[in-house]
A and B are shown apart, each in its own frame.
Chain A
């Protein structure tokens, strides 16, 4: 199978400078198509996409108040970056595009931000914004603003080969960390012990950030034994704490880290007790999961629709939808941990029918095989659509359940 993506070979290591240039070109093309004079970005991940700047991971409160800001002018060669963390700016960012931090969440900060932007964007310009905190909206009254999703969405939907290498690099760190954590799992270990081992490992292995508090959710045998849900389906993912894990318990593991602005997504089902192998029903759950994956992958290539992929998964699961009501069979991953394309959400069949796979799209396939009375199996693997098929960006065993067939 050819591994090219729009003619480019998936490199072993990303060329970050080339990646920034190619992303910038995509943003410029979408801005031109949308008739936007400038793109003002405040979201953590959109700024990372537009500038390539790295920012220390932070909880949402700090990340909001101390947010880096990007301004992309139509026709400009680079994005302007306003940041408290210039050490994270790419080395090739021109000095006149690197600016002190703005504080658009605060009334006085927003006034200063408007002054800074006024020097770069003429009054009356058509400005696309992803977020517009009230103070900044008040201070920017003289621009015509529109949403940035029409620019960001199409630009980010299809990845460059270097972006795919970043996702694979993030996933390798995540997987290597899990290879250190899983052997330590046994009855008496607490969820937060697993988190401690995981977090220490990811930074030792070179992660640039942690994206989500690690999830080690104990799954019930029956839906009704788990938390109440609005739809009656399984609750997942729920936050970890100091729950002591016990023999006989099954945990669904879900973690995500950051590497050069790209997210990993690791999902596996583990058994707490290393001395007890999977039961016959548990083993059958895994085989069914593997069959669903194989069915989807057998038709995954450019031109197939999300709807067709979802139906292949349902057929392989005997007509039952193999994913949780509030989620999906698959989601994309990139600078966001979950982004388009998505398959099987409540956006509906018509949406999925319009979502046609293209080379460079990424799918995190995460079928859930629920076996009422005996819990369920869930694992995630990441694939990129290539010019004539797919390539896996994840590679991790399924212990103690068995081996994949595809």
Chain B
């Protein structure tokens, strides 16, 4: 099925926008193939994104990195998926009731649930997506003598390039992220705080029927570019006297002022798939009024946009280099990362990702941070989700840059 109706969250009478049964089937096939190539008899997954990839289960969104524990188990021999779920709500039909194991607080019961999975006790090589001393003893108690290895390479092989249905989900997420950006831009006015903008954006996602956005960094007031913007740790904020501001991801109660530049970030999750974009916007004198930017502000914004465009253009099959290379930085952050079921490897820049080879069908978020110019504070952030296409990059997020900050 092709997408005939454009992005949207609702099902359609003729079969919906994304063929989720095919999506799950193709993901599972990729995962089993990657397991075969890695010689894995079993895969024990604890990361929610990997559990989604393997099972297709609709999970409850929770914030933060979850401690490793068995949430889904994939057996190479049978090709079947066993899932930690006390109920069948949100569980795809191909995972039958006898393949569900319930929530337990008791390590002995958790071990017994794992041991009851056919083939687990005799598995010789088990891949896991996390590790802790406790989880290690749990797995060795179930599969004595098994070699436990990093499932990361196999998962990256499966998840790295996207199927057509995964891309349809990513495009829907991109449209939703743009709805979040619209909400941010419309709410931007003198006096609104970064924290309030975070609420506005989360509410916009919820109204679309989507969960809490993948990251709470909705807004960072960067100042007008003519004065310093501070806040936070001494090593983190902007200094006085024209020191460039640092991009803050943690929102504060700082209010936007007329003439300020504000870095806005909107991300959305659809069926677990993420798209994220950032735009730097000028705060007008009142809501709905564009305001007028200084030459210095326009220069900063143009520099960020041009750098972001360069990074988009570098999203081509082949070894990463230049603007996506390990020596590139976006403030103190990487300049690009894989995006699919949330943020995923590779991370590029900030000392990371040397030797990474991009392939057609991979999806990335690329970002660019321009520090304030000589004598000026401020800064500008731009970011986009990009598909690495065989014929060249395709920008998945289309939202325009701030009109008031465009070059004259």
A residues sitting closer than 8 Å to B (CB atoms) are 42-45, 54-67, 84-91, 93, 95, 98, 100-101, 103, 105-106, 108-109, 112, 129-135, 137-138, 145-147, 149, 190, 192-193, 195-197, 199-204, 206-207, 209-213, 215, 226-231, 235, 237-239, 241-242, 258, 326, 328, 342, 345-348
Q: Are A109 and B352 in contact (CB under 8 A)?
A: yes
Shortest CB-to-CB span from A130 to chain B, Å, is 6
Q: Are A192 and B86 in contact (CB under 8 A)?
A: no
- List 6 A-B pairs, Cβ < 8 Å: A45-B64, A61-B48, A89-B236, A134-B152, A193-B206, A230-B101
Shortest CB-to-CB span from A370 to chain B, Å, is 15
Counting CB contacts under 8 A, is B103 at the interface? Answer: yes
Shortest CB-to-CB span from B394 to chain A, Å, is 22
With A59-B215, A210-B212 known as contacts, the answer to whether A134 contacts B131 (CB < 8 A) is yes
Shortest CB-to-CB span from A348 to chain B, Å, is 7
Counting CB contacts under 8 A, is B333 at the interface? Answer: yes
Counting CB contacts under 8 A, is B295 at the interface? Answer: no
Complex Cα–Cα for A229 and B233 (A): 48
B345-362 Cβ-contact flags toward A at 8 Å (1 or 0): 111001111100000000
Shortest CB-to-CB span from B203 to chain A, Å, is 4
Shortest CB-to-CB span from B366 to chain A, Å, is 16
Shortest CB-to-CB span from B389 to chain A, Å, is 24
Q: Are A60 and B342 in contact (CB under 8 A)?
A: yes
B residues sitting closer than 8 Å to A (CB atoms) are 9-10, 47-49, 58-68, 86-90, 97, 100-106, 109, 128, 130-134, 149-150, 152, 195-196, 198-200, 202-204, 206-212, 214-217, 231-237, 246, 248-253, 269, 274, 332-333, 337, 341-347, 350-354
Q: Are A131 and B60 in contact (CB under 8 A)?
A: no
User: Which chain A positions have C-beta within 8 A of B252?
Assistant: 87
User: Which chain A positions have C-beta within 8 A of B202?
Assistant: 196, 199-200, 203, 210
Q: Are A241 and B209 in contact (CB under 8 A)?
A: yes
Q: Determine which of B97, B231, B248, B342 lies in contact with A228 in the assembled complex, contact meaning CB atoms within 8 Å.
A: B97
With A106-B347, A132-B133 known as contacts, the answer to whether A199 contacts B250 (CB < 8 A) is no
Q: Are A239 and B251 in contact (CB under 8 A)?
A: no
User: Which chain A positions have C-beta within 8 A of B196?
Assistant: 203-204
Q: Are A61 and B342 in contact (CB under 8 A)?
A: yes
Q: Are B249 and A326 in contact (CB under 8 A)?
A: no
User: Which chain B positions have C-beta within 8 A of A108?
Assistant: 351-354
Q: Are A86 and B236 in contact (CB under 8 A)?
A: yes
Q: Are B214 and A88 in contact (CB under 8 A)?
A: no
Most buried by B among A201, A202, A230: A230
Q: Determine which of B67, B88, B207, B251 lies in contact with A56 in the assembled complex, contact meaning CB atoms within 8 Å.
A: B251
Q: Are B102 and A210 in contact (CB under 8 A)?
A: no
Shortest CB-to-CB span from A125 to chain B, Å, is 16
User: Which chain A positions have C-beta within 8 A of B341?
Assistant: 61
Most buried by A among B102, B132, B246, B352: B132
Q: Are B102 and A213 in contact (CB under 8 A)?
A: no
Shortest CB-to-CB span from A127 to chain B, Å, is 11
Q: Are A61 and B47 in contact (CB under 8 A)?
A: yes
Complex Cα–Cα for A58 and B131 (A): 21
Q: Are B109 and A55 in contact (CB under 8 A)?
A: no
Q: Determine which of B9, B47, B63, B333 lies in contact with A209 in the assembled complex, contact meaning CB atoms within 8 Å.
A: B63
Shortest CB-to-CB span from A342 to chain B, Å, is 7
User: Which chain A positions have C-beta within 8 A of B249?
Assistant: 56, 84-85, 87
Q: Are B47 and A64 in contact (CB under 8 A)?
A: yes
User: Which chain B positions have C-beta within 8 A of A229?
Assistant: 86-88, 102
Complex Cα–Cα for A193 and B341 (A): 24
User: Which chain B positions have C-beta within 8 A of A67?
Assistant: 65
Q: Determine which of B49, B61, B90, B195 lies in contact with A206 in the assembled complex, contact meaning CB atoms within 8 Å.
A: B195
With A58-B63, A108-B354 known as contacts, the answer to whether A103 contacts B133 (CB < 8 A) is no
Shortest CB-to-CB span from A190 to chain B, Å, is 7
Q: Are A211 and B62 in contact (CB under 8 A)?
A: yes
User: 20 new A-B pairs (CB below 8 Å) besides A86-B236, A146-B133, A242-B10?
Assistant: A56-B250, A56-B251, A58-B214, A63-B64, A65-B347, A87-B232, A87-B236, A88-B232, A89-B233, A98-B235, A108-B353, A132-B132, A133-B130, A134-B131, A134-B149, A192-B209, A204-B196, A210-B63, A230-B87, A326-B86
User: Which chain B positions have C-beta within 8 A of A207?
Assistant: 195
In the complex, what residue of chain A is closest to B10 when comparing beta carbons?
A: A242
Q: Are B100 and A230 in contact (CB under 8 A)?
A: yes
Q: Are A60 and B105 in contact (CB under 8 A)?
A: no
Q: Are B269 and A59 in contact (CB under 8 A)?
A: yes
With A60-B49, A103-B352, A109-B347 known as contacts, the answer to whether A345 contacts B106 (CB < 8 A) is yes
User: Which chain A positions have C-beta within 8 A of B86?
Assistant: 229-231, 235, 326
Q: Are A342 and B105 in contact (CB under 8 A)?
A: yes
User: Which chain A positions have C-beta within 8 A of B149?
Assistant: 134
Complex Cα–Cα for A42 and B212 (A): 23
With A61-B343, A204-B199, A213-B212 known as contacts, the answer to whether A131 contacts B132 (CB < 8 A) is yes
In the complex, what residue of chain B is closest to A132 when comparing beta carbons?
A: B131
Q: Determine which of A135, A200, A227, A342 lies in contact with B150 in the assembled complex, contact meaning CB atoms within 8 Å.
A: A135
Q: Are A59 and B61 in contact (CB under 8 A)?
A: yes
User: Which chain B positions have C-beta within 8 A of A60?
Assistant: 47-49, 62-66, 342
Complex Cα–Cα for A21 and B122 (A): 49
User: Which chain B positions have C-beta within 8 A of A106?
Assistant: 345-347, 352
Q: Are B209 and A238 in contact (CB under 8 A)?
A: no
Most buried by A among B202, B217, B332, B344: B202
Q: Determine which of A42, A65, A239 lies in contact with B61 in the assembled complex, contact meaning CB atoms within 8 Å.
A: A239
In the complex, what residue of chain B is closest to A93 when comparing beta carbons?
A: B233
User: Which chain A positions have C-beta within 8 A of B235?
Assistant: 86, 89, 95, 98
Complex Cα–Cα for A86 and B247 (A): 10
Q: Determine which of A55, A87, A190, A193 lies in contact with B231 in the assembled complex, contact meaning CB atoms within 8 Å.
A: A87
Q: Are A61 and B150 in contact (CB under 8 A)?
A: no
In the complex, what residue of chain B is closest to A238 when comparing beta carbons?
A: B89
Q: Are B246 and A87 in contact (CB under 8 A)?
A: yes
User: Which chain B positions have C-beta within 8 A of A89?
Assistant: 232-233, 235-236
Q: Are A134 and B199 in contact (CB under 8 A)?
A: no
Interface pairs A-B: 10 shortest CB-CB: A61-B342, A203-B199, A87-B232, A134-B150, A44-B64, A235-B87, A196-B206, A86-B236, A147-B133, A230-B102
Q: Are A238 and B60 in contact (CB under 8 A)?
A: yes
User: Which chain A positions have C-beta within 8 A of B216?
Assistant: 56-58, 209-210
User: Which chain A positions have C-beta within 8 A of B337?
Assistant: 65
Complex Cα–Cα for A133 and B204 (A): 35
